[in-house]
Copies of this chain bind each other. A is one copy, B any other.
């Protein structure tokens, strides 16, 4: 038998990684299967050995991306919940996040999801729930926070990043991000 099980898995991961990066940056329709495969140094022919369709890939890439996120990784253990949330806000509301490639799907794909299939939309909803619940739980270990406060905070940081990507003027973006960072900190017990 050719190719180790490992190699095939690794290739699959590479495709998912490239796919998510490109989808997040440009949305479903503005990315071609070709671009994705070239991005990980393959050609489009190899694609259908790994995935059923472009739509299928999109959904899988979304789930893959979530698995890479802070939320799924650094479960607050050594670092306190407070530190964890501080870092989350700092990272999330940074210009690097807005411009960079390690992107939160909730912000980067917000309107793109609307025209995807039901399964993908379910995935998105689950991600939102996850993020929201995590923030709520962590916050309530060291301060009082209502569910409404946390929900609105989650909407705020997602909105801030989504809008920031669309705005050209850098000064406006920095201002928006800083403002949201400040207000979010106040709401989460002054962090």
Q: Is the CB of A165 within 8 A of B111?
A: yes
Least CB distance, A104 to chain B, in whole angstroms: 12
Task: Choose, from A35-43, A46-54, A170-178, the stretch at the interface.
Answer: A170-178
**A162 at interface by CB-CB < 8 Å:** yes
Candidate in A30, A147, A175, A179 with the most chain B CB atoms within 10 angstroms: A179
Interface residues of A in 103-123 (CB under 8 A from B): 106, 108-115, 118, 121-122
A147 contact from B129, B160, B179, Cβ within 8 A: B179
Q: Identify A111's interface contact among B109, B169, B172, CB under 8 A.
A: B109
| Residues from chain B with Cβ under 8 Å of A160 in the complex | 152, 155, 159
Task: Report if A65 contacts B (CB, 8 A).
Answer: no
How many A residues are at the interface, by size bracket?
35 or more
Residues of B close to A154: CB separation below 8 A: 159
Residues of the B chain whose Cβ atoms lie less than 8 Å from the Cβ of A159: 110, 154-160, 162-163
A158-B151 CB under 8 A given contacts A27-B112, A29-B29: no
CA of A191 to CA of B102 in the docked complex: distance in angstroms?
A: 38
* Complex contacts, A29 vs chain B, CB 8 Å: 27-30
Chain B residues whose C-beta falls within 8 Å of the C-beta of A158 in the assembled complex: 159, 162-163
B residues less than 8 Å from A165 (CB atoms): 110-111, 114
Q: Are A124 and B167 in contact, with the CB atoms below 8 A? A: yes
Interface residue? A188 (CB, 8 A): no
Which A residues contact B (CB, under 8 angstroms)? 25-30, 106, 108-115, 118, 121-122, 124-125, 128-129, 147-149, 151-152, 154-160, 162-163, 165-169, 172, 175-176, 178-180, 182-184
